[in-house]
Structure 1
C-alpha cells in the first residue's frame, strides 16, 4: 500500500490542496484492491488533450486528476454544489447566505432548508479540501467561502463535458493560464441545456450584452448574473431589451455595480413573472415602477444603494417575499408602506420610518419574528415608534437589529432595547446612553457608530456575557479615556477601534479581554500609546494598527518603547503612509481594483496624513475629485507590487 500511495502522491506535484484531497480519499478506503482501483481509474478525460503537450501542462493534468478523484467521490448533491460555484470569477469571496437564496430561487435548494443544513453542506466540501472557508459568523457558521482556482477549472471542464449548467461570458483578451472560459461568448458551443449565464463585464456594457440578447437560443434563460469590472458602467441602454428578451428568468443579479447607472427601471420588469431573485445592489436606480408588484413569486428583492430612489407602494402584492432590502434614501410614492401582508418575511433592511406604518400590533408582531431588521429615522419620529414597540407583549427573537438615527438630535434607546433577545445589534447615530447592566443578554456582536456617547461604554459592555465581536466606529465614544475593567469581556474575540477622534488613553486591566484574538486600531489620532495590559492578553493572535500617527507606530515596532507589550502576538501589521513616494518608474504600475492603470500620483507622507485621503481602491470611481492620494502599506515592505488593490466596502 505504501508503494501505491507513493505513486498516487506523484500526481499531487507537491500541491497541498491535492495532497489534502488525496488523503481524504485514501482514508475512506482500507484495502489494497480499493487503492488500486482508484489509481487505475482514468479521470484524465476531464483534461483537454492539448493541455498535455509540454511538461508544465502534464503537471497541471496530474493535479486535476487528483482533484477529479475527489470530485467524483462526492455525493451527487455536493458535485452539483461545486458546479454552481464555478461561475464565480477566480478568487471571488462568495457569500454563503446570498448564494443559498439564489439556489432556492432556482429550485436547486429546498426553500425551507435551514442554516444548519446549509452549513453542513459547505463543511463537507471544506473537509474534502475543495473549498476554503474565509469567514465565520458570530454563531460559528460559515459566512464566506472561496473555491480554489484549480477546483474551479475542474468544475468548468466537467460542466462542459455533460451538465452544461453554466456558460461564462468573459471578453478579456488575456485569460489566466489554465482558464477554461472562452475569450468571447461566440466561442461557446450553443446548447439547449444551458439555463444559466454568468457575464463578466470588462468593456462597453452594450458590446457585452447585445450578443447575448440577440442570441435566440438563450431566450429561455432562467439565471443571469452579471459581474462588473467597470468603474462607471451604464446599463440604461441594455436593461429594457434584456428584460424583454429573457422573460423566463428566475434569477437576475447585477454584482458589484457600485456607481452603475440604471436610471428608471423599465415597466417591463413586471413581465418577468417567474422571477424569484432580483438584485441591483449598489446601482443608481432612480425609480422602481409599480409593475414590480406583478412579481408575485419574488422571494428576494435587493435594492440597497446610497442613491435616492422612488419605490412604489406595492408590497402587499408580494406575498412570497422573504428578503427585502430598500435603498438607503428611499421615497415612497402614495400611502405609507404596509408590511402586515408579508407573512413569510425574514429580512427587512433600510426601512424608512417616515414612509412606513409600523405601529399597528400585527406589523409589530411581524417585525419581531423576522431574522434581520434595520430601520432609519429622524429623532422627531422615534418616540412614537419606541412607545408602541416597547409596549407589545410579543417576545423579541430578532437575530439582527439595526437602528440608524439620521438627525443631529439624540434619541433614547434604553426602553426600546430592554428585554431584547437579539444576537447582533448595530446602533448608528446619536443616542443618549446605553442601558445599564446586561441590556441584551444574548448579544454576540455589537457595532456602535457615530453614537457620540459621553460616558465610557466599556463599563457597561464588559458585562455582556456572550459578546464576541465589538466594533466602535467613527466617534462612537467622544470621551478621552476608556477602561477595560478587571475580568471584563470574558468571551470577546474581536475588537475594532476606528476613528475615535477624542480618545487619548486606553487602559486594559489584568484579566480583561481574556479571549481576545483579533484587535484593530485605526484612525485614533490622539491615542498616545498602546495599553500595557495587552501583554497579559495571551490569546491575541493578530494586531492591526492602521493610519495611526508616527509617534504611535514607532513605539510598537521592534526596538520601540512599547514593543514588549505586543511581542507575544504572532501577527502584528503596521499600516502607515508611504512617505515621499511618487509613481515615476514605468516598471511600477498602480491599478484600481478592476485593473485599470491610474495616472501618476504623489504620496505626501506622514505630515499630511490627517488631510482627507482617498483609498487607492476608490480612485477609479472618484476620478477628478481626487486631489490627494495616500497609500498605506506594511512598514516592513521592501518591494511593493501594484497588481490588484482590493476594494473595501
Structure 2
C-alpha cells in the first residue's frame, strides 16, 4: 500500500506543478527535489513489500507512507495559502492597498514556514534511505534505467480487456443441493419444514446457493410472494420489515405507503399479506438470535403457508429460529470440482492465453487450488489472480510465491478460515499499486450495500487515487476509473451489476464487496490508517469529546447515523481542529427515512478542514429551514465556501443551503444538489453562480427546481461532462450549446408547454453546434405538459431532421407524461429508423390508434412501458419483425385493451414481461410460447378469469418461462 500512496502523491504533486506554476513559482525547485526522492523511494518498496513479515521493515514502510503524506500536506497547505493570498490581492481598489501589503508579508511568512517544513522532511528522507541500506533492502532500478521510467512501467495497468466484458456466473458442485432444497421448500405436506437453513463458514457459497434456489423456476411458480433481505451484523427492525414488504408488494403506488408506516403497522401488514398468498422470505446472512427475535412476530405459526430460508455462519442461530427445521451444510468442493471452478475462472477462452502450455498450467493449477481447501470464494479469488497471468512462467511464479509464503509461517493448514484470508490477502497484494487504494476505498460503504458505480468513480477521482498517467488518448478520467473497476471485477475481488443497455455511457451499474472481502478491506485500511468508519446505531449518544484524537493520521472519515440519537450539543463529525491538517474526506450518511438532527455546531467544525477534497452529507437533516432563515448564521452551508480545495460535494436528500457559498469552490469537479426540498438563490447571485467553477465535470441539479427570479447560467463550464435535471423553467437553455465536452445530459420539463418548445429548440441548437461532438447519452422527461396545443408536437420536433443531422445527438431515454396525438403520424418517418431510443415510457398519451406499429420500428428500443391511458383502443398488434431488441415490456392500466395479438418472430429477445391492471384483457397471445428468451412473467392485479386460464388451459403458452409471478388477483 505504501507503494500506491507514494505513487499517487508523486503524480498529484506533479500535476500541481503543471496546473499552478505561478502560485508555486517560489518553491517549485524544492518541491521537485522532494518528488525526485519520493520516486527513488518507490524503487525500494517492491523489495520491502516482500519482507513485510519483518517488523522493522513493516515500520520502515509505514514511515515512507507517512513521509509521502507529509510532503502532500506541506505542498497543499502552501498552495491553499497562496490561493487565498491571490484572491485578496486581486480584489483591487485603493482601499485595499493595506490589505495587499499584508498579503505580501503573509507570503513571506508562509514561504519561510514551507522551507522549514521541507527541510525537516528531507532530513527524514535521509534517515529512511540509510535504513534501506542497513536492512539490505535493494532498489529495483539498479541497472535498469531511471527510477522515474521504471516507476511508470511498474504502475502501468495491463488492461487485458479494452472493454468491459460480462462474465458468466460460475456455479460448480452444488447442483444437486439446489434440486433437493427446492423440493423441500415447495413441499406442502403437513410434515414439511417451514424453515430451511443453509449454514457454514464464510466463503462457502451460502448466498450463491440460496440465490440459485430463489430464482429457480419451480420456486417462482409455486410461491406467489418472494422477498430477499440481507440482515448482516448491523440491522434495524423497521428497515428489514420495510424491505421485505417492498419485495412482497411490488406495486409502486403502495411503495410510498409502506415507507410511511411505523414498525407495528409494517408487521401487521406483513402478517396480513401472508394470510392471502404463499410466500418465501429469504433472510440472508443472519448473525444473531436477537435479529430473529425482532422479526419472528411478523412470521406467525399456524395455518400460514409462508416458508423461510435463512443463511448463517452460526448454526446455533439456525437452531434458535426453529429447532425442528432442516439445516443444510454445504460441503467443501472436492479436488475435481475445485479444479473445474478454477479452470472456468482462470483459463477463459481467448487469444491472450499461452495455449502451448495448457497441460503444464493445469498441473500447477491443481497444486495451487489444493491450497484453497475446497472453498469456492478462495478458488474464484485465486482464479482472479491467475487470469491476469496468461503464461506458464507467470503461473509458475505464483506457485513458488505461494510455497515461499507457506515457509514463512503464513500458510495454510490450521483452519479453513485462515486459508480464506491467506488467499484474499494474496489477491490484494497482487494488485497493481493504483488499484489497492481503490479496493480499500470500497470498505467505506455499508455491508451488503450496492455501490453506485458512477458515484464511486467520482469519489475515486476526487480523492486523487485515479492516475492521470493511466489515461489513453481521448479518454476521460471517468473512463479510466471504470477500467480500474473492470480490473477488480475481472480479478473477482468485486461483484458487479452491469447496465442492461449496451449503449449506456457506463458499463457498470453498481458493485459490492463480499462480506469477507469487506472485512479484509476494512482491516487493511485501518492498519494503513486509510479511513475510519463510525456507525452510530440506534439508541447511542455521541458528543464532541468523541473525537479522533487517537487516530491523528486519519485522512478519510465516514459517519453512518442509522437513526442514532444525537443531542443538540452533538456533532456527527467526532473531529476537531487537531485533525484538520490531515483530513481529506468526510462522508456523513443517514437513512433517508430516518434522517437525524445534526446540531448547528457542525457549522463551526466543518470550517477547519481547509484541505478537504470530499464532503458528502446525504440524508442528513441539518436544521428545519424556512425561507426566512435560509441565510441565517445557523445554516452550515454558508461556510462551505471556505473549503475551496474541495473536489466533490454531495448534499443529496439533505436540508442544507449551499448557495451562494458554492461560487467560491473553484476546484469542484462533482456537485450533487438533489436536496430534500427546493433550493433558493439570492437574486443578485443566481444567474452566474457557477461561472467560476471551470473545473466542474459532473453537475446534478435539484429534481424539484430552484426558486429564482432569473435563470441559472452555465457559462464557463467548458469541462462539464454530466448535467442532470436541466429544467428550462429555471435554467438558461441557450448555454447548452456551449458545453462542448458534455457526455451525458438529462432534461426535465414539467407542466409548461412553452418550456417543452424551448427544450426542443435547445436540442436543435445543440445538434447544429459543430463543437458538440461528445454527447453520448441523452434522457428527456416531459411531465404533465399540455402537448395538444397548436403547433408541432414534441415528438415531431424530436424526430425532425434538425435533431438528426449529427450522429451523437440521439435520445436514449424518453419519458412522456401527457397526450401525444401525433404519434401515429411517425409511422413512415425516415428518422424513426435511425433512432437510438433504448427506453421509452408513456403515461396519459390518450392514443386512439394502436401505438405498436410505430414503436416496433425503433430498432434500438430495449425497454418499453405503456401506462395509464397511454392507449385508449381495444386491440394491440405487433408484427413479425417488430421490436428486434426489446428485452423488457410493461403494460399497465390499459383499461380498454381486450386483445393483444403478436405475430411469430416478434420480440425475439424479450426476457421480462409485466402486465398489471389491464382489466379487460382476456388472454395472453398464443405466440408467447415462441418467446424462447422470456425468463420472467409478472401478472399483477389482473382479473381472476385471466389468471385461471393461464394457470389452467393456457399454461402451455408460458410453461417454458422460468419465473412466473401472479399476485393480487382481482
TM-score tier, shorter chain, comes to 0.7 to 0.9
Q: Secondary structure at the match of 1:278?
A: strand
The answer to whether residue 700 in structure 2 is matched with residue 325 in structure 1 is yes
Deviations 1:199-253 (A, max 9, x none): 1112124587446134733564211112313633144524423433434322111
Residues 559, 572 of structure 2: 8 Å contact kept: no
Task: Note the alpha carbon deviations across 1:173-201, whole angstroms, 9 max, x for none.
Answer: 89xxxxxxxxx996978334321111111
Q: Which has the higher contact order (CA 8 A, sep 6+)?
A: 2
For 1:428, the equivalent position in structure 2 comes to: 816
Equivalent residue, structure 1, for 2:443: 86
Aligned to 1:518: 912
What residue in structure 1 maps to residue 643 of structure 2?
A: 272
- How far apart are residue 124 of structure 1 and its match? 2.0
Q: Gapped runs of 5+ residues in structure 2?
A: 1-359, 469-474
1:403 lines up with 2:760 in the alignment: no
- Flag the structure with higher strand content: 1
In the TM superposition, residue 514 of structure 1 has moved relative to its aligned partner by 0.8
Q: In 2 relative to 1, CA 480–64 (structure 1 residues): closer, same or farther, beyond 3 Å? A: farther
- 1:339–1:363 Cα contact (<8 Å) kept: yes
Residue 171 of structure 1, CA deviation: 3.1
Q: Tell me the equivalent position of 1:138.
A: 501
**Structure 1 pair 215/46, CA: closer, same or farther in 2 (3 Å)?**
farther
Who is 1:439 aligned against? 832
Structure 1 SS opposite 2:519: helix
The one of 378, 401, 409 equivalent to 1:18 is 378
Q: Deviations over 1:155-182 (max 9, x none)?
A: 11122233x22111123489xxxxxxxx
Residues 578-589 of structure 1 mapped to structure 2, 5 A cutoff: none
Question: Hey, what does 1:540 align to over in structure 2?
Answer: 934
Question: What's the counterpart of residue 745 of structure 2?
Answer: 372
| CA drift at 1:151 | 0.9
Q: Provide the TM-score with structure 2 as the length reference.
A: 0.52
- Selected match of 2:757 from 383, 390, 396: 383
1:472 pairs with one of 849, 857, 866: 866
SS in 1 for 2:527: helix
Q: 1:368·1:398 contact (CA, 8 Å) conserved in 2?
A: no
Deviates more, 1:495-504 or 1:216-225: 495-504
Question: Equivalents in 2 of 1:304, 1:44: separation in Å?
Answer: 53
Note the C-alpha offset of 1:465.
1.8
Cα distance in 2 between the residues matched to 1:291 and 1:483: 56
User: SS state of the match for residue 268, structure 1?
Assistant: helix
Higher helix share: 2
SS of 1:79 mapped into structure 2:
helix
**Structure 2 CA distance for partners of 1:225 and 1:340, relative to 1, 3 Å:** same
Which residue of 2 is the match for residue 621 of structure 1? none
Equivalent residues in 2 for 1:258-337, closer than 5 Å:
263=625, 264=630, 265=635, 266-285=637-656, 287-305=657-675, 307-311=677-681, 312-313=686-687, 314-337=689-712
Aligned to 2:798: 416
Which of the numbers 589, 592, 616 marks the counterpart of 1:227? 589
Give the Å deviation of 1:460. 1.4
Number of the residue aligned with 1:581: none
Matched residues, number = 556
Q: After the TM superposition, which of the residue ranges 427-436 and 461-470 deviates more from structure 2?
A: 427-436
Distance 1:288 1:439, change over 3 A: farther
In the alignment, the residues of structure 2 paired with residue 187 and residue 10 of structure 1 have an alpha-carbon distance, to the nearest angstrom, of 47
d(CA) in 2 for partners of 1:510 and 1:330? Answer: 47
- Cα-Cα RMSD: 3.7
Within the alignment, does 1:171 sit opposite 2:532 as a pair?
no
Task: Report the equivalent of 1:617.
Answer: none
Matches for 1:56-135 after TM superposition, within 5 Å: 58-110=415-467, 113-114=476-477, 116-135=479-498
Q: Deviations over 1:25-53 (max 9, x none)?
A: 45647466752431441599999xxxx9x
Q: How many Å separate the matches in 2 of 1:96 and 1:406? A: 31
Aligned mate of 1:190, from 536, 550, 554: 550
Change (3 A) 1:243 1:107: same
CA drift at 1:293: 1.1
**Equivalent residues of 1:105, 1:250 under 8 A apart:** yes
Pick from 565, 568, 582 the counterpart of residue 204 of structure 1.
565
In 2 relative to 1, CA 14–282 (structure 1 residues): closer, same or farther, beyond 3 Å? farther
Structure 2 distance, partners of 1:426, 1:208, is 46
Q: Deviation at 1:350?
A: 2.2
Describe the shift of the 1:334–1:109 C-alpha distance in structure 2 as closer, same or farther (beyond 3 A). farther
Give the match for residue 232 of structure 2.
none
CA distance in 1, matches of 2:545, 2:835: 51
- Asked if 2 retains the 8 angstrom alpha-carbon contact of 1:221 and 1:248, the reply is yes
Partner Cα separation in structure 2 for residue 5 and residue 117 of structure 1: 32
**Closer/same/farther in 2, CA of residues 22 and 134 from structure 1, 3 Å limit:** same
Which has the larger displacement, 321-330 or 271-280? Answer: 321-330
Q: Give the 3-state SS of the residue equivalent to 2:476 in structure 1.
A: coil
CA distance 1:442–1:548, shift in 2 (3 Å): same
- Structure 1 residue 132: Cα displacement: 1.3
The 2-side partners of 1:476 and 1:221 are apart by 53
Q: What's 1:636 paired with?
A: none
Separation (CA, whole Å) in 2 of partners of 1:69 and 1:354? 55
Equivalent in the alignment of 2:965: 573
* Cα shift readout 1:267-317 (whole Å, capped 9, x = no counterpart): 1122221122111122344x4431221111122221224633213331223
Q: Is the 8 A contact 1:469 1:492 kept in 2?
A: yes
Please say if residues 458 and 478 of structure 2, whose CA atoms lie closer than 8 Å, have aligned partners that are also in contact: no
Is the contact made by 1:234 and 1:262 (CA closer than 8 Å) also made in structure 2? no
Whichever of the two has the greater Rg, that structure is 2
Q: What residue ranges of structure 1 are gaps of 5+ in the alignment?
A: 175-183, 578-605, 608-649
Output the CA distance in 1 between the equivalents of 2:546 and 2:364.
45
1:506 to 896, 900, 905: 900
CA distance in structure 2 between the partners assigned to 1:59 and 1:173 by the alignment: 35
Cα shift at 1:486: 1.3
The SS at the match of 1:329 is coil
- Partners of 1:43 and 1:97 lie apart in 2 by 43
Would you say the 8 A contact 2:547–2:576 is kept in 1?
A: no
Is the 2:916–2:941 contact (alpha carbons within 8 Å) kept by the matching residues of 1?
A: yes
Q: 1:126 Cα deviation (Å)?
A: 1.7
